[in-house]
Amino acid sequence: MYIILIIIAVLVIFSISLYNRLVTLKVRTRESWADISIQLKRRYDLIPNLVDTVKGYASHEQGTFKDVVDARSRATSMNIDIANVDASQLEAFASAQQGITGALGKLLAVAEAYPDLKADKNFLELQRELSDTENKIQAARRFYNTMVRDYETAILTFPSNIFAKMFGFGSREFFELPIDSEERDNVDINFAQ
């Protein structure tokens, strides 16, 4: 009789432990997505200041300014509910982020033609902050994908997959950039070296 109670107690403890692990991984995945969102908001907030600073030196580059503002507008209009996102939504979101990266690359390339702009303290500070933010976005994306990997592994491996199905733990999508965008991620925005 005691052996049966011990076996039942061990199974209950094991089940609770497995469930708690799945909940922890799910929460960490959401938290890591929030980190990406915070860094993207920081990037979005830097863009108007950067555009205004460059406008002061290169007012005839209206097409470039419009591209940056339009890319920012497209990206900020996309809201992702990470708990219910599908691969196509995440791909569209990644594409919008790459649109910003490309537009910023063009904007910063304009700075090359203006030595006074490259020496402007405000521009240099914005450039440093943007570079720092881009690095933080990449780190947050890698961390998010690590959390998704761990979560996906947990919900797909035995015996936790049984609990995942029983309690409705759904799959999460990786935040992957288009294949050719890895090179664009490394846009050199440090002209003042």
Angle at 53 between CA 38 and CA 180, to 5 degrees: 55
Q: Which DSSP symbol is given to 84? A: S
CB 38 within 8 A of CB 171: no
d(CA 126, CA 144): 26
d(CA 191, CA 111): 8
What CATH architecture does domain 2-185 belong to? Up-down Bundle (1.20)
* pLDDT digits 0-9 by tens, 94-117: 999 999 999 999 988 888 888 888
**What DSSP element (H or E) covers 158?**
none
Q: Please, where are the H alpha helices in 115-173?
A: 115-119, 121-156, 160-166
Pair of tokens at residue 161: 């997959």
pTM: 0.80
Q: Identify the CA nearest to 80 among candidates 147, 144, 149.
A: 144
d(CA 92, CA 94): 5
Angle at 82 between CA 26 and CA 17, to 5 degrees: 5
Computed over every residue of the chain, the mean pLDDT equals 88
The predicted model gives 82-87 an average pLDDT of 85
* pLDDT digits 0-9 by tens, 118-136: 788 888 899 999 999 999 9
More confident residue, 52 or 185: 52
* pLDDT digits 0-9 by tens, 143-186: 999 999 999 999 999 999 998 999 999 999 999 876 554 444 44
Query: Is the pLDDT at 80 greater than 90, yes or no?
Result: no
In angstroms, how far is CA 166 from the centroid of its own chain? 30
Helix, strand, coil proportions of the chain in percent (round to 5)?
A: 75, 0, 25
